[in-house]
Structure 1
Amino acid sequence: MIDNFENEFFGIGIQNGKTPENLGVLWRSAQNMGASFIFTIGNRYAKQASDTHNAVKAMPYFHYDTFEDFFKHLPKGAMLVGVEKTEDAEPLETFKHPKRCVYLLGAEDHGLSKKAIDKSHFLVQFSSELSINVAVAGSIIMYDRGIDKPRFIRAE
């Protein structure tokens, strides 16, 4: 019998993305950095010139109208990692990425919703004086995940 809870995967997406061009850049990075799927909550994806690899056709893309709908459909065994600058967020430099997780980024001008922050299993942030582009933030998170460092292992 195969225990698929041993398999690692991650998905990455944006809640209420503001700039459609950022989605294309994030999707391109997600495809290059090993994401299993991509998603949006609120605003939908539209074909972007910045997604030169057409990642949305090359990997599963999901859209959820609301955060509640998204949260209800998290993959079994996956943990939600909110990317947000808060007092409670763990520094990315020492963060142990879960083996199976979904990274959620917020719009550059509003960040994650309070509900998303409250429901996240982890909140993570990295050092930057000011807010940065959401596609860049997502790329930094995925790059860090790819570094060979210990993973968080959930007790089932």
Structure 2
Amino acid sequence: MKVNNLEQGYFGIGIQNGKTPQNLGVLWRSAQNMGASFIFTIGKRYAKQACDTHKAVGAMPYFHYDTFDDFYAHLPKGAMLVGVELTEEAQPLEAFKHPRRCVYLLGAEDHGLSKKAIAKAHHLVKFKSTLSLNVSVAGSIVMYDRGLPR
């Protein structure tokens, strides 16, 4: 993504109550490759992942929050919270205009985002899928879409 001084922006990406350590490692590797500024978890702690072969957690800031409320209280100033969730009210990703400064939040495959996270999100996005996708795949799709010209 080409960024000039007039279009400065950043994004972070993370998982709420991630289900498996492997998903974290794969998402972190994709985040590093796709230009994320930071990564985070809410609920369960990150541990060194064999699938984080690029050691993304050492290459960019990593944050852990015990609760959603703690995470929400520490959103970067001016950043929009974008929840990724298969809900009726979510906007199709294909038509979504990504905020210049945002934080993408994904939920675990088995439970999705919490009701509180859905209610507090500035935007909700979804993409064409009849079933829930692996969280690292879903996050990679969102980050790839962010880099597409609109």
Cα shift readout 1:3-41 (whole Å, capped 9, x = no counterpart): x99520000000000011000000000000000000000
Residue matched to 1:83: 84
| Runs of 4+ with >4 A deviation | none
Amino acid at match of 1:33: M
CA RMSD of aligned residues (A): 1.2
Q: Distance in 2 between matches of 1:128 and 1:111?
A: 14
Q: Indicate conservation of the 8 Å contact 1:5/1:77, yes or no.
A: no
- In 1, the alpha carbon distance for the partners of 2:94 and 2:15 equals 22
SS in 1 for 2:70: helix
Aligned to 2:113: 112
Shift of the 130–102 alpha-carbon distance from structure 1 to 2, 3 Å rule, reads: same
Q: Secondary structure at the match of 1:128?
A: coil
- The corresponding residue for 1:99 is 100
| Residue number in structure 1 paired with 2:142 | 141
What residue is the counterpart of 1:42 in the other structure?
43
Aligned length: 146
User: Per the alignment, do residues 10 and 114 of structure 1 end up closer, same or farther by CA in structure 2, a change over 3 Å counting?
Assistant: same
Aligned partners of 1:145, 1:23: CA distance in 2, in Å? 20
1:105 & 1:12 partners in 2: Cα distance? 8
Aligned twin of 1:58:
59
> What CA distance in whole angstroms lies between the structure 2 residues aligned with 1:97 and 1:70?
21
Output the TM-score relative to the length of structure 2: 0.95
**Runs of 5+ consecutive residues of structure 1 not aligned to the other structure:** 150-156
- Supply the distance in 2 between the matched residues of 1:32 and 1:16 (Cα, whole angstroms): 23
- Within 2, Cα distance between the matches of 1:37 and 1:94? 25
Q: Report the 3-state secondary structure (helix = DSSP H, G, I; strand = E; otherwise coil) of the residue aligned with 1:13.
A: strand
How does the TM-score come out when normalised to structure 1?
0.92
Q: Which runs of 5+ in 2 are unaligned?
A: none
Q: Give the drift of 1:148.
A: 1.0
Counterpart-to-counterpart distance in 1, 2:134 and 2:7: 33
Determine helix, strand or coil for the equivalent of 2:31.
helix
1:129 CA displacement: 1.1
- Partners in 2 of 1:83 and 1:129 — Cα distance? 14
Q: Distance in 1 between matches of 2:149 and 2:128?
A: 20
